[in-house]
Amino acid sequence: MASSAAEEVIMSNRRVIMSNRRVILKGHVTGVLTEDDMELVTAAVGIAVPAGSTAVLVKILYLSVDPYMRIRMRNHLEPNYIPDFVPGEVMATLGVSKVVASGHPDFKTGDHVWGMMGCEEYTLVSHPESLFKINHPEFPLSYYIGVLGMTGLSAYAGFFDVAKPKKGDYVFVSAASGAIGQLVGQLAKIKGCYVVGSAGSDEKVNLLKTKFGFDDAFNYKKEQDLNATLKRCFPQGIDIYFENVGGAMLDTVLLNMRIRGQIVACGMISQYNLERPEGIRNLFSIVTKRIRMEGFIVLDYFGTYRKFEEEMAGYIKEGKIACVEDVAEGIENVPAELIGLFSGSNVGKKLVIIAQE
């Protein structure tokens, strides 16, 4: 149990005081993210909510580690779609947790919830309206930061709402064994598309073909000529590109799109550690091929979450969607796990067990 050693119970004025380990951003990050950019500190937390507050205090069970967290470590000169992390303060991410104290009528002690939390062992959630109660306890709780959480909703919304696929479409997914990619590929198969994925190791490629049912897959690190690879995989061109990586892959995909193809821009992980993003030179293909390239942010789809949750829960029960999680344990490992995303060390959805119940 990750946090047991750190837990120290002190009775003080009838409030239970626990030690709370948290991951702090030391300063805004430029260039490649390293462990020195973050620090694990221990604070004390009282197991109660402030008197009169509608806040909820949760004990975190699982934390999600996602590429977009790197974006929040920059110092943006202009407002971004999500606020930058503040140096010296705890970082935030999505988590699954158990309510340990509540000032809100909709949440009671013992409820399981998922939502945005601090990278720590206990979080006081000031606006618990942002939390989702867990409706399907029959699934592993960790699914709620993966296939049944923001990751799943990203894949679902990006693929169905933004790409608007048709049966028989030729679909290409980059970072395809990653948290979102693996689900996009499987949703595309459910829709009746032909799906090819790229990944960064033979192990991942094998997973795509055997576990996730991709029609084809390749290890981009072994391909000498990406353009030739895409032409081999898509002799007729790509109808839908689900973009997770950016850079050279995007530039090459632009040359291999079909007329009126869709590029769904979900993320560009290859660019997040670069101070100066790579230049994309083949954008004129957007004109000549009448391509639609459209970005989306999953936050915009949270209002549709319950509908998604039921549909995805159904697919999992029917065996139509599998998911692979890459699990680490211990709050102290969050920094290394986050850094590992950018070298592709994870296989599947990266998450960290923070505590057993």
Q: Which residues bind a second copy (CB under 8 A)?
A: 71, 78, 80-81, 246, 250, 255, 259, 265-268, 271, 276-297, 300
CA 164 to each of CA 28, 157, 160, 281: distance values in angstroms, whole numbers, following the listed order = 37, 10, 5, 26
CA 110 to each of CA 56, 59, 97, 139, 162: distance values in angstroms, whole numbers, following the listed order = 11, 10, 9, 17, 37
3-state secondary structure of 49: coil
Phi-psi bin for 15: left (phi > 0), alpha (psi -120 to 50), beta?
beta
Cβ proximity to a second copy, 303 vs 319, nearer residue: 303
- Chain-centre distance of CA 266, in angstroms? 10
- Round to whole Å and give the CA distance between 120 and 59: 9
**Minimum CB–partner distance for residue 295 and a second copy (Å):** 4
**Minimum CB–partner distance for residue 68 and a second copy (Å):** 9
Q: Do 146 and 94 touch, CB atoms closer than 8 A? A: no
Cβ proximity to a second copy, 94 vs 328, nearer residue: 94
Looking at 75-163, list the stretches that DSSP marks H as alpha helix, in order from N- to C-terminal side: 150-156
**Minimum CB–partner distance for residue 271 and a second copy (Å):** 6
- Chain-centre distance of CA 37, in angstroms? 21
3-state secondary structure of 303: helix
Cβ proximity to a second copy, 19 vs 282, nearer residue: 282
**Minimum CB–partner distance for residue 243 and a second copy (Å):** 8
Q: Do 290 and 259 touch, CB atoms closer than 8 A? A: yes
Cβ proximity to a second copy, 219 vs 282, nearer residue: 282
Cβ proximity to a second copy, 213 vs 295, nearer residue: 295
3-state secondary structure of 62: strand
Task: Quote the strand ranges of 163-237, DSSP E.
Answer: 170-173, 194-199, 216-219
Run of H or E including 351: strand 349-353
**Both tokens of residue 308?**
């998604």
**Minimum CB–partner distance for residue 121 and a second copy (Å):** 31
**Minimum CB–partner distance for residue 327 and a second copy (Å):** 27
**Minimum CB–partner distance for residue 249 and a second copy (Å):** 12
Which amino acid appears at position 264 of this protein?
A: V
Of the candidates 168, 244, 171, 182, the one whose C-alpha atom is nearest the C-alpha of residue 213 is: 182
**Minimum CB–partner distance for residue 165 and a second copy (Å):** 17
**Both tokens of residue 148?**
């049944």
